[in-house]
Amino acid sequence: MKYLARLLFVFSILLPVSVMACLQKHGTFEFSDSKAIFMKGADAGAAYFTLTQTVSSDDKLIGARWETTDESLLSKPLLQRPRVELHDHVPTEKPGILAMKRTPEGVKVSKQEPVKFEQGGKHLMLYNFPESARNGKEIQLVLTFEKAGDVTVTFPINPTNGDKDKPCSHY
Ligand SMILES: [Cu+2]
């Protein structure tokens, strides 16, 4: 019994570590710390991740989208359909106040410069996401790169601090 207790204890320590290694590899890219955050009751949200290019070849993230086959969403006017935009935060005239802006020019990624999409900085802005998607465990977003093309990345939804590194079930 004592052995079992010790074993469980070891497992409980090891588990978060192994779970933390939710690294998604796609071609020459590595994605880590991916998450999507939706405020309660809001259909807009943001997605964050760290992106590393593992080879000495520059690329550029130029767009992102969420794919759905739901006709009731696809038949809506363009601006009411689910969509994803590349955003960044920029300083305003008021000290300490940041504003969001679109970055349609894209985000460069090279081996020397891992790119962080994080709160208060670059992020993927998520608009008009249906409740069914927001209430799920995770969403898949398709990220489009200039050279590498489309890459599908999994984002756990609203991970709490306790399980902020929960595993992605889909790679
Ligand atoms: Cu934004």
Q: Per the domain annotation, does 7 fall within a domain?
A: no
88 alpha carbon to ligand 1 midpoint, in Å? 7
Q: Per the domain annotation, does 33 fall within a domain?
A: yes
The CATH number for 99's domain is 2.60.40.1890
Q: Per the domain annotation, does 36 fall within a domain?
A: yes
Ligand 1 ion: nearby residues, β-carbon < 5 Å: 87, 100, 125
136 alpha carbon to ligand 1 midpoint, in Å? 21
Location of structure tokens 């891992």:
114
Q: Per the domain annotation, does 66 fall within a domain?
A: yes
Q: Per the domain annotation, does 167 fall within a domain?
A: no
Which pLDDT tens digits describe the chain residue by residue (171 residues)?
555 555 444 444 444 433 344 689 999 999 998 999 998 888 899 999 999 999 999 999 999 999 999 999 999 999 999 999 999 999 999 998 999 999 999 999 999 888 999 999 999 999 999 999 999 999 999 999 999 999 999 999 988 755 545 555 544
In this structure, the strands spanning 149-156 and 24-26 are unpaired
26 alpha carbon to ligand 1 midpoint, in Å? 25
53 alpha carbon to ligand 1 midpoint, in Å? 24
Q: Per the domain annotation, does 34 fall within a domain?
A: yes
| Residue from 5, 27, 139 nearest 84 by CA | 139
Q: Per the domain annotation, does 129 fall within a domain?
A: yes
28: containing domain: 23-159
- Structurally, the chain folds into a number of domains equal to 1
93 alpha carbon to ligand 1 midpoint, in Å? 18
Q: Per the domain annotation, does 3 fall within a domain?
A: no
Query: Which pLDDT score is estimated for 52?
Result: 94
